[in-house]
A and B are shown apart, each in its own frame.
Chain A
Amino acid sequence: MTAAAPIVAARDLVKSFGAHRVLHEVSFSVAPSQVVVVIGPSGSGKSTLLRCCNALEVPEDGTLTVCGTDLVRNGTLIPERELNALRMQVGMVFQSFNLFPHLTVLDNVSVGPRSLRRMPRAEAEALARDLLGKVGLAQKAEAYPATLSGGQKQRVAIARALAMQPRVMLFDEPTSALDPELVGEVLQVMKGLAREGMTMIVVTHEMGFAREVADVVMVMDGGRIIEEGPPEQIFGAPRNPRTRSFLQAVIARD
């Protein structure tokens, strides 16, 4: 392999909640500019795996390297300061948006660079307006999150994560909380990011998006990656019978 060093590399990650083991020695890696889409039935460990990548969940065993730093080595998390520095390079978008309700849209996007990169207010706000324009919400800069639709909230959340100029973006079911007619506008923004070469890990149930945008599709079930490959292979000729039955169930629904 001549590929550049991976942005995310996980080896044998193990995670349990109480007695319930959610991840069984999961290994994978994500190259720069790659879009990896994680699919699988609910409870398969997709979100947990994604949340490990910025240590919102800490694996109890295994090694996880993100942006060249060992975030977790043999189950031990790096010290707090290094963790915070690393998180600045990893953007996260949540299913439930988690915008800051007491801040305007502009402040939601600029608070990161201002408080963490010590960017002067004017510069941070210019950056924020730029990003809001990119997600199609320049006119909402002064609004409070409570006045936005779900799709608009999620686009602001994407802009907020981008404001830290991350090297990788993590999406945790970004469209699952949206009304069906609002899903498209969020996926559109995500497609744009992928085109620009952003490294992305996306947990989603949007099979159309996976088919169209993913470089690699990872199928999870029961805390393991049961199949991994380009979308043509996963959707066209899935090898694992459980992948087949999952895809049948999902496609029957659509």
Chain B
Amino acid sequence: MNLDFTPVWQGWRELAYGALVTIEVTSASLLLGCILGLLVGIARLDPRRKLVYGVATGYVTFIRGTPLLVQLFLLFFGLPQFNILLPAFVCGVLGLGIYSGAYVSEIVRGAIQSIDRGQMEAARSLGMSHGKAMRIIILPQAVVRMIPPLGNEFIALIKNSALVSLLTIADLMHEGQKIISISYRSLEVYLAVAFVYLMLTSLTGFLLQRAELRLRAGGVVQ
């Protein structure tokens, strides 16, 4: 068995460009996922608000209960039947963001519910509205507790983003496959692609760990 990494060296520009696209897709869907997750997580706090709770719960159930690939194909191949033709990149970001939002919402809900009930009572007793108490008192404490599970979610999102190569988006995975289709060096190129994903996920993990340490040092967490 001989390994020949020449195609990887020759194709490094394409791989670097692909990695950049992967970062773009992931960052954009991360942002969307966090916004959605925050809204849906808060919507699922109070089952007595039936409509809001019901819609949010339906969303989480559907997204968590169906494969991401099916959801991506629904957007990319399904929507055109209604004459909704979204660019591949938009479909990828929407699909990943909506998918991630369902998981982030559970992280948000769990973190908020883990904050002692007395915090809300103390804030409300001062005269704060529920929303203000949430913003000033509860969420800042909950966000710190969200960081470790969010780190896992971000890393999962980076890896899941490889699926958008199937929507013709020229991400890292897609660029790797293009090199293979010319060089037939599957093992070497996939190893290189795996290595770049590993770099991206490790870097993300490292940055999140630092963020958490800084928040702890700042006295935000006891």
Cβ of B136 under 8 Å from chain A? yes
Quick check: A146 and B119 within 8 Å, CB to CB? Answer: no
Chain B interface, DSSP helix/strand/loop, else mixed: helix
For A113-127 the 0/1 string (1 means CB < 8 A from B) is: 001100000000000
Quick check: B222 and A146 within 8 Å, CB to CB? Answer: yes
Cβ of B178 under 8 Å from chain A? no
Quick check: B137 and A100 within 8 Å, CB to CB? Answer: yes
C-alpha spacing A84/B131, complex, angstroms = 12
Quick check: A94 and B122 within 8 Å, CB to CB? Answer: yes
Stretch at the interface among A21-29, A85-93, A187-195, A223-231: A85-93
Given the known interface contacts A56-B121, A96-B118, the answer about A160 and B126 at a Cβ–Cβ threshold of 8 Å is yes
Quick check: A100 and B222 within 8 Å, CB to CB? Answer: no
List chain A residues, Cβ under 8 A from B137: 100
Cβ of B132 under 8 Å from chain A? yes
Number of inter-chain CB pairs below 8 Å: 69
C-alpha spacing A56/B117, complex, angstroms = 11
For B182-222 the 0/1 string (1 means CB < 8 A from A) is: 00000000000000000000000000000000000001111
Q: How far is the CB of B55 from chain A (nearest CB, A)?
A: 23
List chain B residues, Cβ under 8 A from A210: none
Given the known interface contacts A98-B116, A100-B119, A115-B136, the answer about A56 and B219 at a Cβ–Cβ threshold of 8 Å is no
C-alpha spacing A144/B119, complex, angstroms = 15
Q: Which of B104-137 contact A (CB under 8 A)?
A: 116, 118-119, 121-129, 132, 136-137
**The residue from A88, A111, A145 contacting B136, defined by CB atoms under 8 A apart:** A111
Cβ of B141 under 8 Å from chain A? yes
Interface size class of A (residues with CB under 8 A): 20 to 34
Cβ of A43 under 8 Å from chain B? no
Interface size class of B (residues with CB under 8 A): 20 to 34
C-alpha spacing A132/B126, complex, angstroms = 17
List chain B residues, Cβ under 8 A from A164: 126-127
Quick check: B121 and A98 within 8 Å, CB to CB? Answer: yes
Closest to A145 in B: B222
List chain A residues, Cβ under 8 A from B129: 80, 84
List chain B residues, Cβ under 8 A from A146: 219, 222
C-alpha spacing A164/B124, complex, angstroms = 12
Cβ of A102 under 8 Å from chain B? yes
Quick check: A144 and B219 within 8 Å, CB to CB? Answer: yes
Cβ of B149 under 8 Å from chain A? no
C-alpha spacing A186/B141, complex, angstroms = 27
Q: Which residues of B approach A to under 8 Å, CB–CB? A: 116, 118-119, 121-129, 132, 136-137, 140-141, 144, 219-222
Given contacts A80-B129, A90-B125, could you give 12 more A-B pairs where the C-beta distance is less than 8 Å?
Answer: A54-B125, A92-B121, A94-B122, A98-B116, A98-B121, A100-B119, A101-B141, A102-B140, A102-B144, A116-B132, A144-B219, A160-B126
Q: Which residues of A approach B to under 8 Å, CB–CB? A: 54, 56, 80, 84-88, 90-92, 94, 96, 98-102, 104, 111-112, 115-116, 144-146, 157, 160-161, 164
Can you list 30 A-B contacts (CB < 8 A)?
A80-B129, A84-B129, A85-B127, A86-B127, A87-B126, A87-B127, A90-B125, A91-B125, A92-B122, A92-B125, A94-B118, A98-B118, A98-B119, A99-B122, A100-B122, A100-B123, A100-B141, A101-B221, A101-B222, A102-B144, A104-B219, A111-B126, A111-B136, A115-B132, A144-B219, A145-B222, A146-B222, A160-B122, A160-B126, A164-B126
